[in-house]
Each structure stands twice: as C-alpha cells, then as structure tokens.
Amino acid sequence: MSFWTFENIKSVLAGTWITRPDAAARPFGVSNDTRSLKPGQLYFALRGERLDGNEFVAQAAAAGAPLAVIDRPEKLPPGLPANFGLIAVKDSGDALLRLATAYRTYLDGTRVIAVTGSNGKTTTTRLCEALLSRSLRGTASPKSFNNRVGVPLTILNAKKGDQFLLCEVGTNAPGEIKELAEVVRPDIAVVTSIGREHLEGLGSMKGAADEAAELLKQIKPGGTAVVNADAPEINERLAVLSARGGWKVIRFGQASDADLRLTEIEAGAESVRFRLNDRTWYSVPLLGKHNAWNAAAAVAVARRAGVPQEMIEEGLAQAKGAEMRLQRVREGGVEFINDSYNANPESMLASLETFGAIFPRAIAGGRRVAVLGDMLELGEQAEACHREIGRALAGSAAFDVVVLVGKNMRFAAEDYAAAGGTCPVTWVDRGAADYARQAAGVLRSGDAVLLKGSRGTVVDRVIGAWQELLRERAARPAAPTSTESAAAGR
C-alpha cells in the first residue's frame, strides 16, 4: 500500500476534512514554502515569528499543491478551487512531525543517517552526501534543515527505495534533539563535536553533550554511532549507551585510541590533506584544519555504508563546501573569507587559525582584516567568551586591521588592548542602520577579509555594503586633472 494516499495522510494526521481533494491527484512530498513548492507536494501551513502559512493557501493551490494542512481555518481566502483538499488540524507543526514519524517507518529499506554536534554539522552532512552518492542513491538534508521543520521536511521528501537518507539534527534548548531523534530513529548517528554552543539554552558543554546523547539513544539496534574521539563530554557516555542500545561505536579524531585516527594533517590555502591510521592520505578542497575531523567522520559513515575506498577518496577530492562556511568570495579587489553562517567560541577560534594559515604573511598592496560579529546565545558566559576572543586576536599575527561588530564585541576590544594587541581596532554598533556600511568603509582594494559572527549579526552584509560603496565611487564624476584645471582657469 502506498503511503501517499489522501485517506492515509488524513488518518495519520488525525485531522478533519474541510474539502476533499481531486481523487485523481497523486500527491508526493511536502513543502511549507509556496515559492519553491512543486506540483503534487502537500502544503503545510506553518506559523512562524513573522509569517503565518495559513495566509498563503491560495498561492499553494496555484503552485500545484493538491492539498493543504491548516490550523487556522478562519484565515482561508475565498475562491479556492473546489477540488483543492483541506485538512484542519490542531497544530500544523505537530502534524508535520506526526507525518514524518509515520513515513520514517514506511522507509524500512532505507539506511537513515543523522548528523549532530556543536560545529561542523552542515559541512559533515555535505561531505557524507558527496561520498554516499558516489555509489548509492538517496536523499540529503538541503542547506541547514536541522530543526523541527527542516528535519521532517527532509524525511518526507525522501523516496521509497532510497538507499540512504541523510538528516542534520540541531538544537538550541534542552529536549529539542530528543523530539527530533524519536522521529529520525537513525541507523547511523554522527556527533561531530561538543563545544560552547547555545549556552543560553543548554547551559554548558555538559548540556550540549546531553542533547547529543539523545540522538545516540535513538539509534536502532545493530546500528552505529560515529563519534568525535576528542570530545570527552560525549565519549564518557558512550560505554553505557552502546551497551544499552546494542550498537557499534566508531570513534574518529587524534586521540590515541580512536578507531579512525588522524595521524597527520596539512592545512593549505586551498584544501586540507590528512592521513588516517590505515596510512591512506585524503584531500578535501575545504579550508581549515578542523575540516579534517569533519571529513574523517564522513569517511567512517561511507565505509559503514559500504562505499568502495576508491570512491571515498574521489568523493572527498571533489566535494564542495557549504555556503558561508569559509567560503571564498572576490568582490572589487577584496578577497572575503565568508564564515558568517554562525559562530561560537570554538568555531571563531578555528576561523582565526584558518585565516592565519591562508594568509601567514603581510599582503603586498593590501591588509589582512578581521570583521568579527557577536557570538549570540551564550548566556551568562557571553562576556568571558568574547574576552577570550579578544585575547586570541592579540596573540595572533594574522591580522593588520580589526573591525568588531556588536555590543559583546566591546569586551573583545577591551581584552585585545589589555593583552597588547597593536592593530587598529574599529568598533561598530550592530544596532546602527548602516553598521555594514561602516564596517565596509574600513576596507580597501587589495585587502583580504575574514567575516565571522553569529547568524543574527549578519556580518556577511559587509560584502553587499562594499559592492554598494564601489558603485557609488564609480558613479562619481572624475576629479579634473591639473591640466584641465589650468585650462579652466584661463
């Protein structure tokens, strides 16, 4: 029996028909965005902080959705097609999770892989996809679909017969991974790292490890945990969890007892090379020493899934990084290293180290500039964490100019000066309407610029502000030459 029948969907959702859909329609998959909805996909009207999906049902019908799941019938517009299906539920978000839970059971022949961790989730997910797709067919989480909307959407757009389904699972508060892990129920679970992320909600690194452990608890019997051997906070939980769950553990990292041990790492200006304890050298075209750990995790997953060794090596060599993760962007004579998708202390320190490896010496005709935004959601540890970054900057020889964006970066500026930092420092108020333009105004053609900060600081807008400044300069009338000035004076 097909999962994708209207009656089965209605039964799983325990909803109420408002109107029944065209019986000849063949639904498949789910969307919550009418701009990208494909004909045949169900539309889930989800409510967010700014928008209410119940107000876009007409657009969903026009885009080819045969049915919408809604939780605010009073928002329905007049004039919907008579054969456009509508199911009313109490909460569309909860209904989406229910449907994904049921569909996960339907995908009984698909190996489900879930990736979590404080840093490296999306990059590791992309690397796993690059390796698995060399010899297997499957579905992977697009972008950073790692919350209670993105995870069920990833599952519901997988196909029966897929050999793998790759999910990214994130959190910023206790209990979130538990809820998602009970939906995903992975065959392979990956923990990339444990760091000081979302401390406002999780409280500590122990809290972050507790959340990651919730994913491990849901590994199916006979499954596998792939865990960073250099993260003691999660490793101390492994023995009890694996014995209770009946699954295998593969540990990767530099620890002497790691199953996949990183024995050598060479981080270059274009890629990172590393060797594992099987003496095989691997190369991946990503920036940063830390990506050796992400790649090692992907190697472990691929081997467990049966991908041939030569395809693993080829897949890593041809892999592509995720957007806004140490992404090189050249605009108007400036080379940006855009690592602005998100930030916590560990990822910020890794970015500073990586930039220093790319540009170890002064640049002829330019400067090395750090544009660093606040690290958000650090709670009571925010001040201490930002001061730590200031001291790290002072101890680094990688920068000639420093631009700090946001109120917490004031603490970084204070400790930078106290620790003997000598570069010119500009502080920019993130609350100012022109904060990106202020930061861009410091730049010159020929500079190399690191952009790093939490998503909420949106420091990548500096690129657009720099482009705008260049357009304005190009539009200005050229200053008269001395000869022209003399002629005009006659």
When divided into structural domains, the chain yields a total of 3
361/466 same-domain check: yes
pLDDT score for 4? 96
Residue that terminates a domain, selected from 272, 292, 317: 317
Q: Are 277 and 145 contained in the same domain?
A: yes
- For range 191-214, the mean pLDDT: 94
Model pTM greater than 0.75?
Answer: yes
Same domain, 83 and 111: no
Inside any domain, residue 100: no
Query: Rounded CA gap, 203 and 266, in Å?
Result: 35
Report the CATH number that the domain containing residue 470 is assigned in CATH: 3.90.190.20
Q: Are residues 123 and 162 in the same domain?
A: yes
Domain of 310, CATH number, reads 3.40.1190.10
Do residue 331 and residue 471 come from a single domain? yes
Q: Select from 286, 317, 348 the last residue of a domain.
A: 317
Please report, for residues 17, 186, 325, the alpha-carbon distance to residue 240 in angstroms, rounded to integers and kept in the order given. Answer: 47, 18, 35
382 has pLDDT over 50: yes
Which residue, 278, 294, 317, sits at the end of a domain?
A: 317
Q: How confident is the model at residue 476 (pLDDT cuts 50, 70, 90)?
A: confident
167 and 84 inside one domain:
no
Q: In 10 A of CB 379, how many CB atoms?
A: 14
333 shares its domain with 363:
yes
Give the pLDDT band (50/70/90) at residue 111: very high
Q: Has residue 225 been placed in a domain?
A: yes
Query: Per-residue pLDDT averaged across 246-258, rounded?
Result: 96
Per-residue pLDDT at 439 exceeds 90: yes
- How would residue 480 be classed by pLDDT, with cut points 50, 70 and 90? low
Placement of tokens 């009313």 in the chain: 88
| For range 129-133, the mean pLDDT | 98
Q: What element of type H or E holds 86? A: strand 85-88
Domain membership of residue 375 as a residue range? 327-475
State the pLDDT confidence band at 6, using cuts at 50, 70 and 90: very high
Domain match, 350 and 436 both = yes
Q: Is the pLDDT of residue 490 over 90?
A: no
CATH number at residue 78: 3.40.1390.10
Q: Which residues of 152-188 are buried (b: 16+ CB within 10 A; e: fewer)?
A: bbbbbbbeeebbbbbbbbbbeeeebbbebbebbbbbb
Sorting pLDDT into bands at 50, 70 and 90, what band is 143?
confident
Note the pLDDT of residue 485.
47
SS3 call for 485: helix
Per-residue pLDDT, averaged over 436-443, amounts to 97
- How far, in Å, CA of 404 to CA of 423, rounded? 12
Does residue 257 belong to any structural domain of this protein? yes
* Residue 102 domain-assigned (yes or no): no
- The answer to whether residue 322 sits within a structural domain is no
Once rounded to an integer, what is the mean pLDDT over residues 383-391?
Answer: 98
Question: Residues 63-81: what's their mean pLDDT?
Answer: 97
85 and 119 housed in the same domain: no
pLDDT, tens only, 269-319: 999 999 999 899 999 999 999 999 999 999 999 999 999 999 999 999 999
